[in-house]
Amino acid sequence: MLIEGPVEVTLEDGSTVRSDRFLVALCVCRRSRTYPFCDTSHRRRCRSRGEADD
């Protein structure tokens, strides 16, 4: 989800994170290592066990 910054996000535990960027990508899939900000982790595909390497 893209929103115009700067932005402050309050997390479930009550802590607050801030970004001063003019456009901020927030993670909605919770796969991001930089949650609540998106790091495009949702683009990585997990291989199934039977899938061979190319």
Instruction: Identify the domain containing residue 34 by its residue range.
Output: 2-42
Report the predicted TM-score, pTM, of the whole model to 2 decimal places. Answer: 0.65
Whether 20 is covered by a domain: the verdict is yes
Considering the domain boundaries, does residue 38 fall inside one? yes
- The count of structural domains within the chain is 1
Number of other residues whose CB lies within 10 A of the CB of residue 27: 18
Rounded distance between C-alpha atoms, residue 32 and residue 26, angstroms: 9
pLDDT, one tens digit per residue, over 1-54 is: 999 989 999 999 999 999 999 999 999 888 899 899 999 888 886 655 655 554
Decide if 54 is inside a domain: no
Q: In the prediction, which pLDDT does 48 show? A: 57
Is residue 9, in this structure, part of any structural domain at all? yes
Residue with tokens 């990508």: 25
DSSP class of 48: P
Q: Is residue 11 part of a domain?
A: yes
